[in-house]
Structure 1
Amino acid sequence: MSEQTIKDFRVRIDSLDDRVLELISERAFCAQEVARAKIASVATGEVPIFYRPEREIQVLKRMIKRNKGPLSNEEIVWLFREIMSSCLALEQPLKVAYLGSEGNFTQLAAMKYFGHAVISKPIAAIDELFCDVVAGVVKFGVVPISNSTEELVDHMLDSFFERNMVICGEVDLRIQHHLLVCGNTKTNRTTSVYSHTQSLVQCSKWLYANYPNVERVTWSSDAEAAKLAQSNEWNSASITGDMVESPYRLTSMVEKIEDLQDNFTRFLIIGSEEIPPTGDDKTSIIVSMSNRPEALYKLLVPFYEHRIDLTRIEVRLARSSKSTYMFFVDFIGHCRDSLVKDVLEQVSHEALTFKILGSYPKAVL
């Protein structure tokens, strides 16, 4: 390619950049007009709803359908998510809490779902996070619920069952672990690796193969483990994700050391308002059943008869009684759908206790 051809392309790119900027600015002005219209339309004393999760999901799915490349769907979703996040911040900054410490995977999931223009708040305890959502201190909370290599997070089930919360969305996040060190770490003399229990488990084969004699120290979170590795920087490392590198001034020594490359964690978005149907939704319920031989059969038959697709079932003993089982069930459909209503009515008749946790748009990518 000649220098003149390159120069011509650069001129064209500059012109396209100007058009892109103009269109983004026009979109932002439209978002401000929508905000003014919402404020004008609500009754005195009422609070307008600026953020509609179902609307954003519909926009992202439409962009995926229209995407002709060369950018991947993931990159297109990221770009439009950030544009919408910034436009929403012009209307009203969205406050979101996430479980754990700064730099952990839950914060990364929050950024994937809401974009970087939100006001995010780390909260260490699940009960505190739920209370902040209920009290309106934050609009939404983000919590991990399950991993593709592990079981459901048990204590989260209890929180959902005991609290009046609504699941508003979900995020599927690919989990990639890196071995991080400080600048002064003697990598050839590393004696300790700090990380969360789950991270150590998910990287156990790699550790056995590469650091069989290194002590594995479990910590409350990957981010906290990074802090500890930083303070003991001469002979220690940590296993964490991408976001931890910056706030704790760590560098990646070895990337993507997880044993399974297809390693995803599912996160739930919790709020206090029900989400309208989008046409591509999922519903979560909690059901408790007596410990009888036909209990699981009684639970599943209505879904089979109405051809409702189940996507996940988790079971555990109820804390209150060893003769009662609790089922966490995900299935395709919205609780306002007529078929789903019929199924839920049948299930509720057979259950000891029954609770709809929420209907929400399925995860985008």
Structure 2
Amino acid sequence: PLKVAYLGPAGTFSESASRKHFGSAPTFMPTLAIDDVFRSVEAGTVDYGVVPVENSTEGAVGRTLDLLLANPLKICGEVKLRIHQHLLSRADGMGAARRVYSHAQSLAQCQEWLNRNLPSLPRVPVASNAEAARLAAEDPESVAIAGEAAAELYGLNILSANIEDDPNNTTRFLVICQHGAGPSGKDKTSLVCSTPNRAGAMHKLLQPLAEHGVSMTKLQSRPARSGLWEYVYYIDFEGHESDPKVAAALQALDQNASFVKVLGSYPVAAL
């Protein structure tokens, strides 16, 4: 069977995203860090990796962006997952709760609910939502914020469901592999590039996309490792790199940028 590495432990949203994309047939392998997912795919110990890249409320996952730039791997798919956070406990109610565990990002995504309902409870950030659920399973005086998969894994009660502040809270994950994905008819392409630091450079860089009728869907800057106040830009646009107009735009973009790396073309995910 296929082997798929994801950011673990079991019971995290990364596992849910992996299962949403690949179904239940593959062997799923949790890792300790995003770096380990990239390493496993590069070494060939797994066929695919699944890593978070951005959340609709919290923004980009910087480590994933940095590793995409540094690694030879390709993006060959994306997964969009609606993130529902639940308050979980061994107990049947919140009365005995003395602390709430969760990943820092989940605590941030539920802070309005926590301020309203559990204002005096200390909020303890831990490595993952699944780790929070594990701690709550061991201690009846603790509650955790995590997803349904973690509740099932650790046999916890859902005291309050869907406590995220934004009901449309969504995380986007990328599927990475050693080879690219062929055209599906509804694709997007991701690349990373940098431009000389001078007036009008960004406009000049993006002009070929407009000239060739290629629609940009995302532009994200990230500090470059090379120097202070130097940036690299992550760009997503519609189409596959093998499409003639995309290929022409990429060729022109290559001439205007000081550096370009195509990260991959892959099918657009549905929510």
The normalised TM-score by structure 1 is: 0.72
Structure 1 counterpart of 2:113, from 206, 212, 233: 206
Query: C-alpha distance in 2, partners of 1:152/1:347?
Result: 24
Letter in 1 for 2:213: R
CA drift at 1:100: 2.3
Letter in 2 for 1:191: R
Query: C-alpha distance in 2, partners of 1:282/1:159?
Result: 20
CA drift at 1:299: 2.1
Worse overlay, 246-255 or 203-212: 246-255
Q: Which residue of 1 aligns with 2:134?
A: 227
1:317 matched to 2:231: no
Q: Which residue of 1 aligns with 2:172?
A: 266
Query: C-alpha distance in 1, partners of 2:55/2:3?
Result: 26
Letter in 2 for 1:154: G
1:281 matched to 2:192: no
1:305 matched to 2:216: no
Contact 2:89 2:140 (8 Å CA) reproduced: no
Letter in 2 for 1:144: P
% identity of equivalent residues: 44
Worse overlay, 106-115 or 122-131: 122-131
Q: Which residue of 2 aligns with 1:180?
A: 88
Structure 2 counterpart of 1:129, from 37, 40, 44: 37
CA drift at 1:295: 2.6
Structure 2: 5+ residue stretches without partners: none
Query: C-alpha distance in 2, partners of 1:175/1:293?
Result: 40
Q: Which residue of 2 aligns with 1:9?
A: none
Structure with a larger share of its residues in helix: 1
Q: Any idea what SS the aligned residue of 1:246 has?
A: helix
Q: What pairs with 1:1-365 in structure 2 (closer than 5 Å)? A: 93-183=1-91, 187-231=94-138, 233-365=139-271
Query: C-alpha distance in 1, partners of 2:44/2:266?
Result: 20
Query: C-alpha distance in 2, partners of 1:295/1:102?
Result: 45
Letter in 1 for 2:242: R
Structure 1: 5+ residue stretches without partners: 1-92
The normalised TM-score by structure 2 is: 0.96
Query: C-alpha distance in 2, partners of 1:292/1:155?
Result: 27
Deviations 1:103-137, CA, capped at 9 Å, x for gaps: 00000000000001211000112222112111211
Contact 1:192 1:235 (8 Å CA) reproduced: yes
- Greater RCO, 1 or 2 (C-alpha within 8 Å, sep 6+): 2
Deviations 1:218-270, CA, capped at 9 Å, x for gaps: 11110111112222x23210000010012212111000000011111000000
Q: Any idea what SS the aligned residue of 2:241 has?
A: coil
Structure with a larger share of its residues in strand: 2
Query: C-alpha distance in 1, partners of 2:26/2:70?
Result: 28
CA drift at 1:302: 1.1
- Structure 1 moving runs of 4+ over 4 Å: none
Q: Any idea what SS the aligned residue of 2:20 has?
A: helix
Contact 1:291 1:323 (8 Å CA) reproduced: no
